[in-house]
A and B are shown apart, each in its own frame.
Chain A
Amino acid sequence: EDKVVQSPLSLVVHEGDTVTLNCSYEVTNFRSLLWYKQEKKAPTFLFMLTSSGIEKKSGRLSSILDKKELFSILNITATQTGDSAIYLCAVDGGGSYQLTFGKGTKLSVIP
């Protein structure tokens, strides 16, 4: 059975701090890893990482994929209160595109 583990489960930082969120996985036929941001509504797509795209960056957010060690990290620099959310990691383990999600990391950014 495919498995995704995120750590830490929750994190509290001050505005301006840099945070690193972790995601490790075990899947049968890895196809891609995705990061989502979930506030009190729809999970919003952030990044997709594959064998041919192991590093992504968008503004203050960046992510890398280590296919050898089976993990990914999501970095957020110069955090803002608007970054407060649950960050979800999901893996597409091949087959019918069903995503296997971790439990998420709840990030709280305080002023």
Chain B
Amino acid sequence: NAGVMQNPRHLVRRRGQEARLRCSPMKGHSHVYWYRQLPEEGLKFMVYLQKENIIDESGMPKERFSAEFPKEGPSILRIQQVVRGDSAAYFCASSPPGQGNIQYFGAGTRLSVL
């Protein structure tokens, strides 16, 4: 049973470009969470999704950031018009139905904005 898969592992973008981060949850998991980790900071919650639904996006910046978890395929975190302050490690986690508080994490995508 493969773990949570994130790709790419490293992503370099220039200011103003778009970044797309992908997350495939563990098999049988229908809940996906995205977290951001800035240098010297703890993981910060961004968004919680179930298939085709955004459940809680209270941690998402109001502009330029969006997330989806379609019926088929991975969850996508999309950052439009990236700025240097978006440089961080973005982690995805998943959990099975009914066990939301045990979240299993992927290895993260490290985004660098030049």
Total chain B interface residues with beta-carbon distance under 8 A: 27
Do A98 and B41 have beta carbons less than 8 Å apart? no
When distances are taken between beta carbons in the complex, the residues of chain B under 8 Å from A103 are 40-42
Given contacts A41-B107, A42-B105, A42-B107, contact A97 B42 (CB under 8 A): no
Do A88 and B101 have beta carbons less than 8 Å apart? no
Set A48, A98, A100: member contacting B48, Cβ < 8 A: A98
When distances are taken between beta carbons in the complex, the residues of chain A under 8 Å from B102 are 34, 45, 48
How many interface residues does chain A have, given as a range?
20 to 34
Report the separation of the CA atoms of residues A99 and B3 in the bound assembly, to the nearest whole angstrom.
19
The stretch of B53-61, B62-70, B72-80 that contacts the partner chain? B53-61
Q: Which of A1-37 contact B (CB under 8 A)?
A: 4, 31-32, 34, 36
Given contacts A42-B4, A43-B91, contact A98 B33 (CB under 8 A): yes
**Chain A interface residues (CB < 8 Å from chain B):** 4, 31-32, 34, 36, 41-45, 48, 88, 90, 92, 95-104
Contacts beyond the supplied A31-B101, A42-B106, A101-B35: 18 A-B pairs with Cβ under 8 Å: A32-B101, A34-B103, A41-B108, A42-B108, A43-B91, A45-B102, A45-B104, A48-B102, A88-B42, A92-B100, A96-B56, A97-B100, A97-B101, A98-B56, A99-B45, A101-B42, A101-B43, A103-B41
A-B contact pairs, 25 of them (CB 8 A): A34-B101, A34-B103, A42-B4, A44-B105, A48-B102, A88-B42, A92-B100, A96-B48, A96-B55, A96-B58, A96-B100, A97-B31, A97-B48, A97-B100, A97-B101, A97-B103, A98-B33, A98-B56, A99-B45, A99-B103, A101-B35, A101-B44, A102-B42, A103-B40, A103-B42
**Chain B interface residues (CB < 8 Å from chain A):** 3-4, 31, 33, 35, 40-45, 48, 55-56, 58-59, 91, 95, 100-108
